[in-house]
Amino acid sequence: MQIQIEKILDNELKPLYSDPGKLGFGQVFTDYMFTMRFQPGKGWVESKIGPYTPFEINPAAVVLHYSQEIFEGLKAYVAPDGRILLFRPEQNAKRMYSSAKRMCMEPFPEEYFLESVKALVNLEKRWIPKAPGTSLYIRPTLVGLGAALGVHPASEYLFFIILSPVGAYYKEGFNPISLYVEDFYTRAVIGGVGEAKTGGNYAASLMAAAKAAEKGFTQVLWLDARENKYVEEVGSMNMFFVFGRKLVTPNLNGSILPGITRASVIQLAQSLGYQVEERPISIDEVVEGLQGGSLTEAFGSGTAAVISPVGSLYFRDKNYLVNNNQVGDVTRELYTKLVDIQYGKAADPFAWVQAIGAL
């Protein structure tokens, strides 16, 4: 792939964020973005890195009417020796391929995915924050652009990547968050598109999230759509429940996202001697475990959320504390081990990180 680069003059570059400790999530964007188009008869063409700027979109574009859109999320980190690291980017490329297939979109070739991420991140390396807990969030996105109001897959596609220096996803940082267990609204159903990383899943979550936020909860914990009984995910992360030395996480049943952090936590936990069960877990089992004391900790996992301790669950008018609303030892151990690998501070026995350049 030959990437055309449209350079910005030095004196026109944006000023860097002033306090990396106050970045939050997804509010600051870098100078450049990557774009590439799929056109019928031509294939993937016009790979370009140019200024981060608004798009001009045909008002009849399929994405604007029928939400033919998918995205990914990954991060670039700076290691203590100055190397720029990505965490399992080939897994994001693969998942984006599967999401595209599910949404009837032209998949973006996996090798182009890695090449474009590497080229853009290297060009934008001054934006990678170095403060603890910060990183450069990478958001590859694919949208259906063909202009047509009939409900059909788009004929043209735009793939783009934008970058955002970020801190913690939740305002709590690495502190326990509160979850509202939603037992009316649902995020996704088996047979639907819950396992694809498509914007519609997130749009579907907004109303319940707003309701939960109004009541003071950090996020919604979704139950399955058929029986309103089994724990699914949080929307911004997969869930893990800790029973002493055993971890239970909902199995990939088609309606939850196959998280890359989720898969990594499973492998990491097993290597540390934990037993991991991927299986349906009902909200009743969770509540009983909390009441009886066998459920000792809970946490979520995700690229943006990393590993986030859960301090309480609110379900049907009752609030249940998890580990007395404190960060538990298992959660802390997994968080520290994972983050140390991601930031190149510890050995990487699983060959998860890829160095793509240096500062």
Interatomic CA distance for residues 118 and 180, integer angstroms: 38
State in angstroms the smallest separation of the CB of 236 from ligand COI: 5
Least distance from C-beta 117 to ligand COI, angstroms? 14
Shortest Cβ 73–ligand COI spacing (Å): 2
Position of tokens 């002493």? Answer: 244
As given in the structure block, the two tokens for residue 293 are 């004391």
Q: Write down the least CB distance from residue 92 to ligand COI, Å.
A: 9
**Measured from the CB atom, is 212 or 295 closer to ligand COI?**
212
Task: Kindly tell me which of 265 and 304 has the beta carbon lying closer to ligand COI.
Answer: 304
**What three-state secondary structure class fits 214?**
helix
For the chain, how long is the longest CA-to-CA vector?
63
Coil, strand or helix at 206? helix
Shortest separation between residue 48's beta carbon and ligand COI, angstroms = 24
Between 127 and 315, CB nearer to ligand COI? 127
Cβ(238)–Cβ(258) below 8 Å: no
Nearer to ligand COI, 190 or 203 (CB): 203
- Please answer whether residues 1 and 120 qualify as being in contact, where contact means their C-beta atoms are separated by less than 8 angstroms: no
Distance of alpha carbon 348 from alpha carbon 85, whole angstroms: 12
To ligand COI, the closest distance from the beta carbon of 304 in angstroms equals 3
Cβ proximity to ligand COI: between 154 and 305 the closer is 305
Query: In angstroms, rounded to a whole number, what is the distance separating the alpha carbons of residues 176 and 266?
Result: 21
Closest separation between CB of residue 27 and ligand COI, Å?
Answer: 12
Instruction: Tell me how far, at minimum, the Cβ of 80 lies from ligand COI, in Å.
Output: 24
3-state SS track over 7-20: CCCHHHCCCCCCCH
CB 3 within 8 A of CB 14: no
Of 185 and 202, nearer to ligand COI (C-beta) is 202
Residue of minimal CB distance from ligand COI? 73
- CA dist 136 and 23 (Å) reads 11
Q: What SS3 state is found at 338?
A: helix
**Amino acid of residue 348:** D
Backbone angles phi, psi at 29, to 5 degrees: -125, 150
CB atoms within 10 A of CB 101: 13
Q: Give dist(CA 228, CA 346) in Å, integer.
A: 41
Binding site for ligand COI (CB under 6 A): 73, 202, 236, 302-304
Q: 13 or 206, CB closer to ligand COI?
A: 206
Closest to ligand COI by CB, 231 or 304: 304
Distance CA 80, CA 346 (A): 10
How far apart CA 32 and CA 163 sit, in angstroms, is 8
Cβ-based nearer residue to ligand COI, 49 or 304: 304
**Least Å from the CB of residue 302 to ligand COI:** 4
